[in-house]
Structure 1
Amino acid sequence: MAGRGSRLRPHSLTTPKPLIPIANKPIVNRLVTDIARILKEPIEEIAFILGDPAFFGDDVVNNLEELAESLGAKASIYRQLNPLGTGHAIMCAEPSLSGPAVVAYADTLIRADFDLDPAADAVIWTKQVERPEAYGVVKLNEKDEIVELVEKPQEFVSDQAVIGIYYFKEIGDLKKELQFVIDNEIINGGEYQINDGIKRLMAAGNVFKTGTVDEWMDCGNKNVAIDTNIKIMQFMITDGSDEIKQEPRLSNATIIEPCVIDPSVVIKDSTIGPNVSIGAHTIIENCTIKNSLIQKSSSIKNATLDEAMIGNHVKYDGDFTKISIGDYTIME
């Protein structure tokens, strides 16, 4: 999670993308919790690879330590100070690379429920897609084992796209191959890639299987983040989650479910919902808002919003509809 999330600006200018809330919970918190639920076994350690301490500071570290502790695990914090690729990022956590492990990129959310195949040395999570030529996909043999990774194939290989979550029965094997990649300067796209380590494992005879997810939800830009916010709220209803229940302070206001609203929120003379999340200590007055994501400590007045994303500590009074406003912005 060392990237700066440039596609999600202005929201990622002051808040690291993995900590931007989806349905009032940071992306990374939701991802790690979902992975823990899928694994169905205790987690001893969660290693987080962060970027520059000037951006990923003590508040980020504290959040991640609390997240790991909530799952009965210890947190290990590592830094990738130069953006040298996914393989390099994993090797920044070299002291933690032993035993069974999951590797995940902290910018997507998933919905899945399956058992890991005990015959597999590794599992690559995939999602069936309609346009495989736009993705990196897996090639399977007659045993449904992964035998090749193909990036954006021009001819049909499979419709199973790699989503950026991997399981290794012994991640020390991946560490060995990635060290070879770095030592021999095997570079693709100007970076050291996890795929080059995986390809070496396949060539050595390691068995790779797919773990197919039901939903793969991106949070990379404003529009898809709003879509993911809506989907997560729908799943929370299906799951009977307590998070979907809110008791904000209402004055002549109507809430149309589903919404996730912090109890400290004040709403006056407004209609909120459906599909709206609102963070703590925000004040909404004389507004109609739907299909939107609003963060903490903001003040929204006299607005009709749809598909809007508003950051923290924003003051907004206006008549634009599909807005994207970063932290500490004033529009009055």
Structure 2
Amino acid sequence: MKIIVPMAGRGSRLRPHSLTVPKPLIPVAGEPIVHRLVKDIAKVINQPIDEIAFVLGDLAFFGDDVVSSLKALAESLGAKPSIYRQDKPLGTGHAIMCAKDSLSGPAVIAYADTLIRADFNLDQEADSVIWVKKVDQPEAYGVVKLNDKNEIVELVEKPKFFVSDLAVIGIYYFKDVSVLKEELQHVLDNNIVNGGEYQINDGIKGMMAKGKIFKTGQVDEWMDCGNKTVTVETNAKMLGFLQDDGEQLIAPCLKIENSKIVQPCYIGKNVILKDSTIGPFVSIGDNSTIESSTVKNSLIQTHTTIKNANLDEAMIGNHAIFDGDFSKISIGDYSVLE
């Protein structure tokens, strides 16, 4: 089994946090989004992973440190790491084809801006499985249309009229991903574009037209990391799940003075808490200091200093300094507000 991870986008909706760190590398509940996603997929697939292919953007933004991190992730799962580049943002189908040398055999394709909780049961009769989640407002999503055999017969983007309430979450399984490769090559060769880009859906539609069977897979939780607000919400959900799983979320080298921690929280190495109340649902990265503050429902990254703050639904980057009376703030790396 292979895992293909397109992650070349800049994550503009998550700025300023994605200005200096690629969005898939931003930690949520103490671990980068893409690391957590790949590990969760590897766990629930319950099959040996032979290769993990990452499709990155330009070298200037996705540099050597990113490559090293991703190679280490793949190797930790016993898989061969492969790195590809998508130099121009030409769509989801184009991104997948940038990894065409790895498109053979069974594979999961997963876009690195979402986290899941699921049991993956791969339908052996299906040529492909598309994971979906029931949503309240299907008109805001891409959804699947099913026939009376519960097979997917159509993909509809943001339907104006009700088609179904099963939204596509961006995770796919292909029994033989080379079939998708052939269809996407046809899309590229014939310049088939939607929204000015080459889309994976057009490759999937080509497969459907040739009689390939598509089934749905359902997830228990689908957690977005597209913007600051939903990323903070995802952090809170993930902390709850990790606590229920019995994971150790607080580093033993915490320095705490006249402070209280309300679980669940993730607290990294060499964090200093002084005269503060932390939690619930707070993640604090390594080497950060929180003093004379109350912090809940928030994400704080590494090497950051917070003083005299009352934070709720805040997201603060790396190497930042914040001293002030605001709550729902969003400041990026190396920012200073005092």
Do residues 318 (structure 1) and 312 (structure 2) align? no
Aligned to 2:104: 98
Aligned to 2:153: 147
Aligned to 1:24: 30
Do residues 15 (structure 1) and 27 (structure 2) align? no
The structural deviation recorded for 1:78 is: 0.3
Do residues 229 (structure 1) and 232 (structure 2) align? no
Aligned to 1:330: 336
The structural deviation recorded for 1:152 is: 1.2
Q: Which runs of 5+ in 1 are unaligned?
A: none
Aligned to 1:199: 205
Match of 1:157 among 126, 144, 163: 163
The question of whether the paired residues in 2 share the 8 Å contact of 1:298 and 1:313 is answered with yes
Q: 1:259 to 1:247 in 2, by over 3 A?
A: farther
Alpha-carbon separation, structure 2, partners of 1:65 and 1:222? 27
Equivalence map 1:1-332=2 (5 Å): 1-243=7-249, 248-332=254-338
Alpha-carbon separation, structure 2, partners of 1:230 and 1:197? 36
Alpha-carbon separation, structure 1, partners of 2:143 and 2:252? 41
Alpha-carbon separation, structure 2, partners of 1:14 and 1:33? 24
Q: Which moved more, 1:256-265 or 1:246-255?
A: 246-255
Identity of aligned residues (%): 69
Q: Which runs of 5+ in 2 are unaligned?
A: 1-6
One-letter code aligned to 1:112: A
TM superposition score normalised by structure 2? 0.97
Aligned length: 332
Alpha-carbon separation, structure 2, partners of 1:212 and 1:246? 37
The structural deviation recorded for 1:247 is: 5.3
One-letter code aligned to 2:50: E
The structural deviation recorded for 1:243 is: 3.2
SS state at 1:72 partner: coil
Superposition RMSD on alpha carbons, in Å?
A: 0.9
SS state at 2:249 partner: helix
One-letter code aligned to 1:288: T
SS state at 2:129 partner: strand
TM superposition score normalised by structure 1? 0.98
The question of whether the paired residues in 2 share the 8 Å contact of 1:249 and 1:263 is answered with no
Q: After the TM superposition, which segments of 4 or more aligned residues of structure 1 sit over 4 Å from their partners?
A: 244-247
Alpha-carbon separation, structure 1, partners of 2:179 and 2:120? 24
The structural deviation recorded for 1:220 is: 0.7
One-letter code aligned to 2:8: A
